[in-house]
Amino acid sequence: MVDTFNSLMMGFSVAFQPQVLMYAFFGCIIGTLVGMMPGLGPLAGISLLLPATFGLNPIIAIVLLSGVYYGAMYGGSTTSILMRIPGEAASVMTCVDGYAMTQQGRAGPALAIAAIGSFVAGTLGVIGLMLMAPTLASFALRFGPPEYTALLLMGLFVLAYMSGGSMLKTLAMAVLGLLLGMIGIDVMSGYTHFSFDIVELGDGVGIVPVAVGLFGISEILMTAGQADPPKVQQPTLRQLVPTKADLKLSVGPIMRGSLLGFMIGIIPGSAHIISSFVSYGIERRLSKHPERFGNGAIEGVAGPESANNAAATGAFVPMLALGIPTGPVTAVMLAAIMVHGILPGPMLIQQQPDLFWGFVASMYVGNVVLLVLNLPMVGLFVNLLRIPYAYLYPCILAFCILGCYSVSNSTMDVWIMLVMGGIGYILRKFGYDLAPVALGLVLGPMLELSLRQSLAMSGGDYSIFVQRPIAVTMLVLGLVLLGLALKPLIFKSKDWRSSVGLDDPID
């Protein structure tokens, strides 16, 4: 505990450097603006800003990008509450009661509770990250290729179980992502897979063009031709103050949402989206007056907002401790760290303590910055929403092209982005979740390498996966979850999704 405290103090000495503070501040502002723009969620924002971090030192780069991440999570809630436009998918549940409160003239308390809930959840999430990541990292030092293979397989099975929509379609998208990850040079044999004699594909398909295409471009294609957004309400500073009753009603949902969000955040998949749905379902079930939900219940804002912010922090635990992303956002952030020659994983905390603890401390700082900055400036930020969508989307498209080109100064990445944008549009029309594609793309090469290394270690004996206790535990856990995911498909029964209002798993 003393060691953790000392390390955290060292982290604060890094985070309080004026330059780091300044970038945390900018990250939060950019993130808030990005989160408020329809079509630009946290993922597209981080992807587009990635090239600009190449010239920065790794601590500043990750502080800036994580500022964008949780700033965007907050920004998404502002548009959800004021305009019923979820800036990003995790804010969908906030729309329901947040916008109902706005219609009742209570936008101020909804925004304030969303900000306070995000702050509390973010802070508790950082404490969880601080306590769990080093423990998990030291445990992961025992991992060899069989354990990593089992871990990655378990992650994919958990993804299928926890997916927001159809389990089959989620698995199909994860496999599609894994196949995309096969493109490029095979490190064990030197063969180049599926490059079609295109030199740039020798290095594989980058996460940034795939992410921007699937999430940014496809969103614009989906919303093409829509009317301008409706008028925006601008609450004054005084209207932002929640009543005692609001605060009393929100304490429980915020605490429950924080805990739930953090735990779900550690699991692979669209954690922050799922956590907000699950939190909303739980709060509605626990409420003495569930009929208030959907009609402006403040618990319906407090719970999901806290959950999605805690999940955003929870997602950093496996990323930093194991070097394994749990979703597209952490996959892009992983790429951002690796650009600087740093390999996230169990050794990161020992070899780069200043980076890890500086990052943890900067997250505390970022949470304070978001709370202090966003509430008083909400009136200023919503001015962005006054820009007609007809002007906004061509500029977003130009930013997407610019951002993808800048990653490796190659139009190949832009072509990949456009192809993925078109594919993403069609997949969305057919009801496929796109997040597993991005996750599979990153996990694919890791899975192939660890599987083949494991078999090389065992001389081709597959029993290596059941002879090692950690590997077999993870495989059994993954298979149990896969079985649970398949159960409603086979027996036509309902599963956890229907109880929280997510899609039917079969459809």
- Separation between Cα atoms, residue 129 and residue 269, nearest integer Å: 18
Q: Which of 10, 127, 136, 172 binds other proteins (CB under 8 A)?
A: 172
Residue 222 in the binding site for other proteins (CB under 8 A): yes
Residue 462 in the binding site for other proteins (CB under 8 A): yes
* CB closer to other proteins out of 149 and 275: 149
DSSP symbol at 290: G
Q: What are phi and psi of 192, to 5 degrees?
A: -105, 115
Residue 428 in the binding site for other proteins (CB under 8 A): no
* Residue pair 290/307 in contact by the 8 Å Cβ criterion: no
Residue 194 in the binding site for other proteins (CB under 8 A): yes
Q: Which of 235, 314, 421, 436 binds other proteins (CB under 8 A)?
A: 421
Footprint (CB under 8 A) of other proteins, residues 377-406: 390-391, 393-395, 397-399, 401-402, 405-406
Residue 254 in the binding site for other proteins (CB under 8 A): no
Residue 54 in the binding site for other proteins (CB under 8 A): yes
Residue 169 in the binding site for other proteins (CB under 8 A): yes
- Separation between Cα atoms, residue 495 and residue 477, nearest integer Å: 18
Residue 178 in the binding site for other proteins (CB under 8 A): yes
Q: How far is CA 2 from the centre of its chain?
A: 31
Q: Which of 230, 290, 431, 483 binds other proteins (CB under 8 A)?
A: 431
Residue 467 in the binding site for other proteins (CB under 8 A): no
Question: Which tokens belong to 200?
Answer: 């740039």
* Residue pair 260/307 in contact by the 8 Å Cβ criterion: yes
b or e along 426-438 (b: 16 or more beta carbons within 10 Å of the residue's beta carbon)? ebbeeebbbbbbb
Residue 23 in the binding site for other proteins (CB under 8 A): no
- Separation between Cα atoms, residue 175 and residue 157, nearest integer Å: 11
| Minimum separation from the CB atom of position 402 to other proteins (A) | 6
Q: How many helices (H) and strands (E) does the chain have?
A: 23, 2
Report the 10 Å Cβ neighbour count for 504.
12
Region of 127-135, 301-309, 369-377, 429-437 interacting with other proteins (CB under 8 A):
429-437
Q: Which of 241, 461, 479, 483 binds other proteins (CB under 8 A)?
A: 461
* Residue pair 320/203 in contact by the 8 Å Cβ criterion: no
| Minimum separation from the CB atom of position 329 to other proteins (A) | 22
* Residue pair 413/208 in contact by the 8 Å Cβ criterion: yes
| Minimum separation from the CB atom of position 221 to other proteins (A) | 4
- Provide the residue count of the chain: 507
Strand 184-185 versus strand 192-193 pairing type: antiparallel
Burial of 251 (0-12, 13-18, 19+ CB in 10 A): middle
- Separation between Cα atoms, residue 140 and residue 467, nearest integer Å: 18
Number of residues that bind other proteins (CB under 8 A): 64
Residue 52 in the binding site for other proteins (CB under 8 A): yes
Residue 18 in the binding site for other proteins (CB under 8 A): no
| Minimum separation from the CB atom of position 69 to other proteins (A) | 19
**Which residue from 304, 260, 311, 341 is spatially nearest to 81, judged by alpha carbons?**
304
* Residue pair 136/322 in contact by the 8 Å Cβ criterion: yes
Question: Which tokens belong to 119?
Answer: 């702050």
- Separation between Cα atoms, residue 373 and residue 337, nearest integer Å: 27
Residue 198 in the binding site for other proteins (CB under 8 A): no
Residue 255 in the binding site for other proteins (CB under 8 A): no
Residue 490 in the binding site for other proteins (CB under 8 A): no
| Minimum separation from the CB atom of position 495 to other proteins (A) | 15
Q: Which of 147, 283, 305, 448 binds other proteins (CB under 8 A)?
A: 448
- Separation between Cα atoms, residue 448 and residue 145, nearest integer Å: 10
Residue 491 in the binding site for other proteins (CB under 8 A): no
Residue 12 in the binding site for other proteins (CB under 8 A): no
| Minimum separation from the CB atom of position 482 to other proteins (A) | 13
Residues that bind other proteins in the complex, under the rule CB under 8 A: 51-52, 54-55, 168-169, 171-172, 175-176, 178-179, 182, 186, 188-189, 191, 193-194, 217, 220-226, 390-391, 393-395, 397-399, 401-402, 405-406, 409, 411, 414-415, 418, 421-422, 425, 427, 429-432, 447-448, 451-452, 455, 459-462, 489, 506-507
